[in-house]
Amino acid sequence: MAYSVTKLDDYSPAALDAAVRDLLSAVTQEAGAVIGENDSKLFRDRWMARKNGILTQINDLWLKAAPGPAKREVGARVNQLKTEVERAVDAAQQRISNSASKSRFDSERLDITLPGIRRPLGAEHPVLRTMNEIVQVFRAMGYSVAEGPEIETDYLNFEALNFPPNHPARDTQDTIFVAGQERKPQRDRLLLRTHTSPVQIRAMMATPPPIRVVVPGKVHRADTADATHSPIFHQVEGLAVDSNITFSDLKGTLDHAMKAFFGSNVKTRFFPSFFPFTEPSADVSVTCFKCGGKGCRLCKMSGWIELLGCGMVDPNVFQFVKSNGYDSRKISGFAFGMGVERIAMLKYGIDDIQLFYQGDVRFLEQFA
C-alpha cells in the first residue's frame, strides 16, 4: 500500500516518533524503487510538490492541526522530515542522472587501444611513373616538356612528317580515323594520333630554333589487344634542333639517357632503320639489363633489347615549318620516340601489357 498522510490524534512523543518512522521508511522504500528520469520526477512531485505534496500535507495535517502545546514537538519533527525527504529525493535524482551519464559514457566510449583505420595509399600508375621518369632524364639535360591533342589532323600526324598521301609508310601506323570526314580535304581530316611525333611539328610552329622538347602522351593504333599490343598506349617523343647538331649528338644524348634510366653499365647500339621524317634513321638497342648482355630469355639470347626509334630530322620536315625559322641549310636536329609501356614492362619484368589497363589493385599496389 502506498503511503498516505493521515491526521494525528495522539501527540505523545512516542506516537510522533512512530509516525516519523513510518514516513521515513515509506520515503526510503519509494526512493529505492526509482529507476528512471520519469520515476524520479514523479517521486519528487509526490513528496515535494508545493500543492499537495506529502511534505505540504504533513505541514497542514500534522503541524497546522496540532493543538498549541504540541506544536513545538510536531514542528521539530516536521522540519526533520523535510530535511530527510529532500535528501532522499536529491539522492534518487543524483543516482538516476549518474547512471544516465554512465550509460552515455559507456555508449560513447572510445577504445584508444583499437588499431586505427588504415587508408590505403594511392601510388602513381607504373605507366605514368615510367613516363615521368623518362621525361625527368631529359628535363635534367635542359629539355622542356610539350603536349599535344590526341585527336590530330592528317596533316600533322602524317603529311608534315613527310608521309605523303597514299605513301605506303602510312600502312605501318594502323590508324583509327574519325568517321564522317570524307568531304573534308584529306589534310584536315581528323584521326587519333598514331604517335607523339605530330607534336614535333606543333612545337616547331610555336617556337623558332633552337628547340629542345620532350613530349609525353597517349597514342592510338588499330591493334588487337594481346600480351604486347594495346590499341591505346603511351610514347615519349624528343626533338632537338639547333645549328650544328650531328648524329653523334643524337648518339651521346640517347646513350646518356639510357644509362640514366637503366643504370650506368648499359651500352647502346644503333641499327639502320626507316622513318619518313628522319634521315638517316636508327633503331636503338640497349644491352640486356637482366643478363648484362650474356643472353637470357628476356633478350631472346641476343644480349640486346630493342627500345626506341630515332634519326636526324629529315630536311623535308623542316620545309613545313620553314616560315618559323627552320631553314635546313642553317640548322639540323634529331628526334627520337619510345614506347612507355614497353620500357616499363622491361624495367619491371612485366610479361603482359594488359596488366597496365585492368586496374587490378594486387598488380598496382606493388608500385606503391
Nearer to ligand PHE, 175 or 207 (CB): 175
Q: Which of 138, 336, 341, 356 binds ligand PHE (CB under 6 A)?
A: 336
CB of 179 to ligand PHE, least distance (A): 23
CA atoms within 13 A on the CB side of 221: 17
Smaller CB distance to ligand PHE: residue 26 or 338?
A: 338
Nearer to ligand PHE, 293 or 309 (CB): 309
Q: Which of 153, 197, 287, 332 binds ligand PHE (CB under 6 A)?
A: 197
DSSP string of 209-264, one letter each residue: SSEEEEEEEEEE------SS--SEEEEEEEEEEETT--HHHHHHHHHHHHHHHH-T
Nearer to ligand PHE, 92 or 317 (CB): 317
What ranges in the chain are assigned the alpha helix state H? Answer: 13-33, 37-48, 54-58, 71-107, 126-139, 154-157, 198-206, 247-262, 315-319, 340-348, 361-364
**Structure-block grid coordinates of residue 104:** 552515455
- Give the residue among 181, 177, 206 at the shortest CA–CA distance from 193: 177
Shortest Å, Cβ 263 to ligand PHE: 24
If one asks whether residue 202 binds ligand PHE (CB under 6 A), the answer comes out as no
Strands in 176-177's sheet, in edge-to-edge order, are 151-153, 190-192, 176-177
Closest contact distance (angstroms) between CB of 115 and ligand PHE is 50
Nearer to ligand PHE, 46 or 269 (CB): 269
Note whether 275 binds ligand PHE by CB under 6 A: yes
Of 124-132, 241-249, 264-272, 309-317: span binding ligand PHE (CB under 6 A): 309-317
309 interacts with ligand PHE by CB under 6 A: yes
Q: Does 270 bind ligand PHE (CB under 6 A)?
A: no
Cis peptide leading into 272, omega within 30 of 0?
no
Query: Which grid cell is 63?
Result: 503541524
Taking the least distance from each CB to ligand PHE, the nearer of 215 and 299 is 215
From residue 144 to residue 183, what is the string marking binding to ligand PHE with x (rule CB under 6 A)? Answer: ----------------------------------------
Q: Does 285 bind ligand PHE (CB under 6 A)?
A: no
Establish if 335 lies at the interface with ligand PHE (CB under 6 A).
yes
Q: Which of 153, 278, 285, 287 binds ligand PHE (CB under 6 A)?
A: 278
Residue nearest to ligand PHE (CB): 337
Query: Could you tell me whether strands 144-145 and 211-220 are parallel, antiparallel, or unpaired per DSSP bridges?
Result: parallel
Q: What is the DSSP code string of 265-284?
A: T--EEEEEEEETTEEEEEEE
Stretch that binds ligand PHE, among 142-150, 178-186, 253-261, 307-315 (CB under 6 A): 307-315
CA–chain centroid gap for 49, Å, is 63
- DSSP per residue over 309-327, as a string? EEEEEPHHHHHTTGGGT--
C-alpha 219/C-alpha 223 separation (Å) is 12
- Residue 202 identity: R
Minimum CB distance to ligand PHE smaller for 70 or for 239: 239
- Hey, which residues between 214 and 253 contact ligand PHE (CB under 6 A)? 237
| Residues in contact with ligand PHE by the rule CB under 6 A | 195, 197, 237, 275, 278, 309-311, 335-337
